[in-house]
Chain A
Amino acid sequence: MANGYDIRDNVPLIKLENIGMVYKIGDIAYEVLKGINLTIENGEFVSIMGASGSGKSTLMNILGCLDKPTSGSYFLEGKDVAGLTSDELAEIRNKKIGFVFQGFNLIQRLSIIENVMLPLYYSGLHSKDSEEMAVEALKLVDLSEKGNKFPNQISGGEQQRVAIARAIVNNAPIIMADEPTGNLDSVRGADVMNFFGKINAERGATIILVTHDRHIAGYGRRLVTVKDGMIISSETINI
């Protein structure tokens, strides 16, 4: 850890060690995650699959640094992030992680290009560069024409592609997608999934996909199955 850069190549991108998560509602404690161990290497395309209530969303929240586990360690690029403050986690989310949610989660009041520029705004970039970067990201998802439109003026599939552009604009090494096709029909869903494949292949970004849909999970290269707060299998997907 003293000279992090030397060992970076040797450490995995993500390493979860014995992660546990307990929610307390009143006097009753719900153990949502029970000792999760998971390693994800740089450039992987991992699908995390499980039924609703399996704990996969909680796992994604922890992987995405949105939530802190109640026990265990989370090493991101070799650095333990479990004990960081909420502002330090915000910075990690800003620089390292791009999110794509089921409900697209674009800000309705902002134009498409402004939505894409938002992560750059929070990393302190405000110059012309950030606009260029946003245009570049929109080009990657074939939406460079729609920058001045607003989210309610474009289709759901397009909105999800804007969300992808927003996730990649900061060149984040990790893209987390939580049921990204959940609100889309199968044609548009396949379209969106192809963009994830493209980003993984062309940009080398690590994709972590959370879904309950076996077909969608099949876009990944590795399938991790979660059940009752535990990982029950991790297998490579053969095409």
Chain B
Amino acid sequence: MNNDKENKVKFAFLLDLESAYKTLLRNKIRSFLTILGIIIGVGSVIATISIGQGASKAIQNSINSLGSNMLIVLPGSSSLGGIKSGFGVLPTLTLNDTYAIRKLPAVKTDSGNLGMNQQVVWRGNNWSTLVVGANSTFTEIRDWPVAKGTFFTHQQVVSAANVAVIGNTAATELFGLINPIGHIVIIHNVPFTVIGLLSVKGFNAFGQDQDDTVVIPITTMLEKIAGTTWVHAIAVSAKTSKDTSLAQSEITALLRQRHHIPLHKPDDFFVRNLTELAATANSSANTFTILLASIAAVSLLVGGIGIMNIMLVSVTERTKEIGIRMAIGAKKSDILKQFLIESSVLSLFGGILGIGLGFGISSAISAFSPLKTIVTTEPIIISLVFSLCVGIFFGFYPAYKASRMNPVEALRYE
């Protein structure tokens, strides 16, 4: 008996939904225009959040792609006669600094680094690419293994061997489909044997193709190509992510000592903690996402007002119907329910279409820009619930107005 009653209630609700659905379908264009605000609102909320999440994922990836628990030591800026130049101008870091840093307790390993754009030649082909001098620890620090062949060893670094490991893009440009390993390329008139092909790394946060590179031993780079003893940077990998700050202070102390800097003088180098950088970049991406999403949420609100407007018109138009329903025995709550269900169905439908729109925008962005957007379930559920709430909230006043009508006056309405 109880069960039977429950079934009836369930059935009644479906009937209400069906009737609301039918009513809205009778005026397709108006219903569509009414929910356009909601569609755009929900669509833009979903799209902006997917862009934000894609961006922060990209930032995280690119920071991770630089290597885990990374610190970068750069030469300091010069300050001559009050004119300050940027970082990296002073030649202060040497390869020996690299080997000293490697022995610090909080440091796992490090690699000296000197990059230059050079023309690389193989037979009739040539390609301008970033030639990077590095230590044998490069693969470990950058978390970037070789796909084919081998990376150069510490021995080859010490002996300044003429070997090169080539990135995927550079390999494609020079060799096409030919396996580059074993071939000899010419860089700055020096022949190098290609011994390895790096795995694909992709773009970094600034849109640079990281695979467009050739890696050679740092010693070979310094002696045979750059003709200097100064490195551009030292990439350091701390033992754990918690050790990055400790490693930073250890490196600072060590380099001040090695460079004989008196207490009252500033550092002639700069240690940049990439983990902190990642956190900062992430939080600014989040702030931006929240800002965009709240602007989008305003359009949801405007969409809600649109629903209220049309529901008020609809209530007035259907005054006679309300009168008939009341004469037949509809209570206030029945009329209220009828119009509330209508506005809820309307806005929920808008929400669903909006989710489709959001998906569309975010996949279009993924397809036509380097940014890979990410749609998660959270914003979908939130915007569905929110649009339902908008429907109930903005539908309430018109529904309430309908339910308070005087049946005699409503019946007289033409």
**Cβ contact within 8 Å between B8 and A94:** no
CB-CB under 8 A from A87, the residues of chain B are 331-333
**Cβ contact within 8 Å between B15 and A126:** yes
**Cβ contact within 8 Å between A118 and B325:** yes
Task: Report the Cα distance A122→B331, complex, angstroms.
Answer: 8
Proximity string of chain B (326-365) to chain A, C-beta cutoff 8 Å, 1 when within and 0 when not: 1111111110000000000000000000000000000000
Is A166 located at the chain interface by the 8 A CB criterion? yes
Question: Could you tell me which residues of chain A, from 61 to 84, have a CB within 8 Å of some CB in chain B?
Answer: 61, 64, 66-67
Selected interface stretch from A41-49, A99-107, A133-141, A214-222 = A99-107
**Cβ contact within 8 Å between B324 and A105:** yes
Task: Report the Cα distance A170→B15, complex, angstroms.
Answer: 19
CB-CB under 8 A from A122, the residues of chain B are 325, 328-331, 334
**Cβ contact within 8 Å between A109 and B26:** yes
Task: Report the Cα distance A106→B328, complex, angstroms.
Answer: 11
Proximity string of chain B (1-43) to chain A, C-beta cutoff 8 Å, 1 when within and 0 when not: 0000000100110010000001100100000000000000000
Task: Report the Cα distance A127→B334, complex, angstroms.
Answer: 18
CB-CB under 8 A from A109, the residues of chain B are 22-23, 26
Proximity string of chain A (132-171) to chain B, C-beta cutoff 8 Å, 1 when within and 0 when not: 0000000000000000000000000000000000100010
**Cβ contact within 8 Å between A93 and B23:** no
CB-CB under 8 A from A170, the residues of chain B are 329
The smallest C-beta distance from A17 to any residue of chain B, in angstroms, reads 21
The smallest C-beta distance from B317 to any residue of chain A, in angstroms, reads 12
**Cβ contact within 8 Å between A64 and B321:** no
Shortest Cβ distance from B16 into A: residue = A121
Shortest Cβ distance from B329 into A: residue = A94
Chain A interface residue count, Cβ-Cβ cutoff 8 angstroms: 27
Proximity string of chain B (300-327) to chain A, C-beta cutoff 8 Å, 1 when within and 0 when not: 0000000000000000000011011111
**Cβ contact within 8 Å between A91 and B331:** yes
CB-CB under 8 A from A67, the residues of chain B are 406-408
**Cβ contact within 8 Å between B327 and A126:** no
**Cβ contact within 8 Å between B407 and A66:** yes
CB-CB under 8 A from A95, the residues of chain B are 329
The interface residues of chain B, by DSSP majority, are classed as: helix
CB-CB under 8 A from A26, the residues of chain B are none
CB-CB under 8 A from B329, the residues of chain A are 90-91, 93-95, 119, 122-123, 170
The smallest C-beta distance from A159 to any residue of chain B, in angstroms, reads 13
Task: Report the Cα distance A126→B14, complex, angstroms.
Answer: 11
**Cβ contact within 8 Å between B328 and A127:** no
Which of A91, A124, A126 is packed against the most chain B CB atoms within 10 Å? Answer: A126
CB-CB under 8 A from A121, the residues of chain B are 12, 15
Is B411 located at the chain interface by the 8 A CB criterion? yes
CB-CB under 8 A from B408, the residues of chain A are 61, 66-67
Given contacts A66-B411, A109-B23, A109-B26, contact A93 B327 (CB under 8 A): yes
**Cβ contact within 8 Å between B8 and A166:** no
Is A86 located at the chain interface by the 8 A CB criterion? yes
**Cβ contact within 8 Å between B407 and A94:** no
Task: Report the Cα distance A65→B12, complex, angstroms.
Answer: 26
Across the interface, B331 reaches (CB within 8 A) one of A61, A90, A101, namely A90
Task: Report the Cα distance A126→B8, complex, angstroms.
Answer: 6
Task: Report the Cα distance A91→B329, complex, angstroms.
Answer: 6
Shortest Cβ distance from A88 into B: residue = B331
CB-CB under 8 A from A99, the residues of chain B are 327-328
The smallest C-beta distance from A90 to any residue of chain B, in angstroms, reads 5
The smallest C-beta distance from A61 to any residue of chain B, in angstroms, reads 5
CB-CB under 8 A from B12, the residues of chain A are 121, 124, 126
Question: Could you tell me which residues of chain B, from 266 to 317, have a CB within 8 Å of some CB in chain A?
Answer: none
CB-CB under 8 A from B8, the residues of chain A are 124, 126-127
Please, could you name 26 A-B residue pairs with CB atoms under 8 Å apart, sorted by A?
Answer: A61-B408, A66-B326, A66-B327, A66-B407, A66-B408, A66-B411, A67-B407, A86-B332, A87-B333, A90-B326, A90-B329, A90-B331, A93-B327, A94-B328, A99-B328, A105-B411, A109-B22, A118-B325, A119-B329, A122-B325, A122-B329, A122-B334, A124-B12, A126-B15, A127-B8, A170-B329
Spell out A's residues near B (CB within 8 Å). 61, 64, 66-67, 86-87, 90-91, 93-95, 99, 101, 105-107, 109, 118-119, 121-124, 126-127, 166, 170
**Sample of 16 further A-B pairs with CB below 8 A, known A99-B328, A123-B329:** A64-B327, A66-B408, A86-B332, A87-B331, A90-B332, A91-B329, A93-B327, A93-B329, A101-B411, A105-B323, A105-B411, A106-B324, A107-B325, A109-B26, A122-B330, A124-B12
Give 5 nearest A-B pairs by CB, closest first. A94-B329, A122-B329, A90-B331, A87-B331, A105-B324
